[in-house]
Amino acid sequence: MGYTNVVQVYQSDMSFILQEEISDYTYPFIDDLPIKGVVECYEHPDGTYETILDNLGIRRFIWEHLQNVYHILQCFKVVNIMISAKKFVLAAPNATIVGHKCTFKGCIPHDNKVQKFRNWPQGQNIMQLCRFLGVCGVLHIFIKGFASIAWLLVNLT
């Protein structure tokens, strides 16, 4: 990307094009565009899934997700955006997005990030504590009370 501020301009363009869809369908992040799935898979007590009335072979939650995908693609069609077929993944059961594993049940920390915590040596000084807190920043959305824990660690040393 040899042009000045091209990444910021691209992010701004994507945010402008999808401004009506952000938070309902997607959160664009530079050249990645995750499209939200539905919040329920409509599973019956017997283990089967609810299907759509027009075609009993299509599960309802897949149909609803594809409607979201279609909505986003129509926004791109209006402004004549080309999509890379190599990077396009349709209806994946999970995906890694900015270091987080996104699944049907929500976002969870990626395994390699958790492994960093498990392998972290015991701190001996403030610098090592700051490094550890930097790693914690990546996973702070999964740690309850992160701010108060960080404050305690910094003020107790």
- Reported as type and span, the H/E element at residue 97 is strand 94-97
Residue 21: band (very low, low, confident or very high) from pLDDT cuts 50, 70, 90: confident
Q: Is 120 found in the same domain as 78?
A: no
Residue 80: band (very low, low, confident or very high) from pLDDT cuts 50, 70, 90: very high
Q: Is 132 found in the same domain as 84?
A: no
Residue 40 has pLDDT above 70, yes or no: yes
Burial of 59 (0-12, 13-18, 19+ CB in 10 A): middle
Residue 85's domain comprises 1-92
Predicted local distance difference test score (pLDDT) of residue 46:
93
Can you tell me the mean pLDDT for 69-81? Answer: 89
Going across the sheet that includes 94-97, the strands are 94-97, 100-103, 106-109
Neighbours of 63 (CB within 10 A): 15
Q: Is 146 found in the same domain as 76?
A: no
pLDDT in tens, 41-71: 888 899 888 898 888 888 888 888 888 888 8
Tell whether the torsion through CA atoms of 38, 96, 88 and 13 is positive or negative.
positive
Q: Is 84 found in the same domain as 137?
A: no
- Could you tell me if residue 53 is inside a domain? yes
- How many domains are there within the chain? 2
User: Taking the model in full, what pTM does it have?
Assistant: 0.63
Which of 92, 126, 141 is where one domain is finished?
92
Q: How far is Cα of residue 76 from the mean position of the Cα atoms in its chain?
A: 20
- Could you tell me if residue 97 is inside a domain? no
pLDDT in tens, 122-143: 778 888 888 877 777 766 666 6
- Could you tell me if residue 142 is inside a domain? yes
Residue 107 has pLDDT above 80, yes or no: no
Q: Is 24 found in the same domain as 53?
A: yes
Q: Is 83 found in the same domain as 15?
A: yes
Predicted local distance difference test score (pLDDT) of residue 33:
82
Predicted local distance difference test score (pLDDT) of residue 114:
74
Tell whether the torsion through CA atoms of 76, 100, 135 and 157 is positive or negative.
positive
Per the model's pLDDT, the better-predicted residue between 106 and 78 turns out to be 78
